[in-house]
Amino acid sequence: MDKRLNEPVAIAADAPRTGAPLGRSPTIALIVLSAIYVLSFIDRKLPFILVESIKADLALSDTQIGLMTGAAFTLIYAVTGVPLSVAATRLGRKWVIVSCVLLWSCLTAAGGLATSFWQLALARTGVAIGEAGVVPLAHEMIGVYFPTARAKALAFFSMGAPIGILLGLVLGGWINDLANWRVAMVVLGLPGIPIAIAAFMLLPEPVASRDVGRRAARGTGLRILLRSATYRHLLAAGTLFGCSSGATMTFTSAFAMRSFDLSASQVGTPYGLLVGLAGGCGVLLSGYLTDRLRRSDPRWGLWLVSGALITTVPFHLLAWHAPALGIMIALLIVPELFQLYYAPPTFSAIQAVTPPEHHALGSAVFLLFATGVGISLGPLITGTLSDQFAARGIIPALGLALSILTLVKLWAAAHFALAARSLRFETAA
């Protein structure tokens, strides 16, 4: 084993960046990328509010639901992110992003035509391939356009997640109740086509992206990334947090519908509003605090993520045993406020300890671990535990499974704290 992997790495915290959008403001690029991110989360989270309808229509088990929404989606999402990021250095970031939007939008709509588990799982893996190409490239472009306000810009971009979840849960629930889950997938999948056309017309390519791409292609990017102790701890933290958050994102709506005998729209509307409003506030707060506090100490952003995760655990545990939907929603306010809080500090820290030519690779590898390992395993483990508990007559089976996965966040919080400990030295170097 290479001993240098355990040595501190001397990398500039804010290496100079060159390039700007061709003929357009960085703000336009940020708005376009954020709109694409909203769309990706609508399509990504749509099946969560449709779980009970899909399960009944296709006669699926919780294990199959966990496999379809977890491993079948996120493993492919994570694995294809790295090669797509490499391909973008040669083909151009805009071309890859536009192609990916078209792919996932068409396959989301195609999922509404599935008549079996394997057909739907295949459509979802295609959606995963499409969505995998957006986030790492967007992070790299935002880092180029906003070198002095990176965390705030990443926070604005990350707002796409709660907004997309809100729209996916609310619209998906209402369309499901008015028609069915198949119509919901078609109606919410096809808008990606005009969004892709708008991106082709408005999204600029960074001036220096081609030169940076050539340097990245020739460099030993993965070795450079893994030499950073901060980056290694962030990979562990992302994996563990992804495992826990993947479980809650997949099964919270289904848990509420089963526990309180409610329809998709009755759960989707209040839960979607909660995720959208609380998650959006958390992301913006995180971006603001990260940029502000890192002037005095760059470790503050990751320290706050660690503390936030610890704070959410008791609220989540109580929510899984709430006697009514209103109480459950109230208990979930704090966990949802901090659900996406990690994003701006984490990706800002990744860019701080990696050279500019490896920013996209750094994000892609992080997402490989957080989603390919974490989020793919979380729903599958939860579904399997739920089926096993139900077979033994343990009630509530799903609530107990979710409680077990919630405790994993404490382990993730420890690694965020360890990443913060090494961050200051590496950025100073």
pLDDT, one tens digit per residue, over 129-139 is 888 888 878 87
152 versus 35: the higher-pLDDT residue is: 35
Mean pLDDT calculated for residue range 400-426: 89
Taking the alpha carbons of 412, 417, 422, 425 in that order, is the dihedral positive or negative? positive
Q: Hunting for tokens 């779980």 — which residue is that?
A: 51
pLDDT score at 206: 63
- pLDDT value at 151 more than 80: no
pLDDT score at 392: 87
Indicate the CATH number of 21-428 among 3.30.428.10, 1.10.3210.10, 1.20.1250.20, 3.30.390.50: 1.20.1250.20
- Residue pair 395/97 in contact by the 8 Å Cβ criterion: no
Mean pLDDT calculated for residue range 394-423: 91
pLDDT score at 294: 67
| pLDDT band at residue 157 using 50, 70 and 90 as cut-offs | confident
CA gap 206, 214 in Å, rounded: 14
Q: Write out pLDDT tens, residues 316-341.
A: 999 998 999 999 999 999 998 888 78
Q: Where are the domains of the chain?
A: 21-428
- 232 CB-near residues (< 8 Å, 6+ apart): 226
CA gap 221, 85 in Å, rounded: 12
Range with top average pLDDT, 43-47, 104-108, 271-275: 104-108
Let me know how long the chain is.
429
- Residue 334: closest CA among 281, 291, 379, 371: 281
pLDDT score at 46: 86
37 versus 289: the higher-pLDDT residue is: 37
3-state secondary structure of 298: coil
Which of 61-70, 187-196, 225-234, 360-369 shows the lowest mean pLDDT across its residues? 61-70
Q: Hunting for tokens 């990017």 — which residue is that?
A: 221
| Alpha carbon 303 to chain centroid, angstroms | 20
CA angle 113, 116, 117 (to 5 degrees): 115
CA gap 28, 153 in Å, rounded: 12
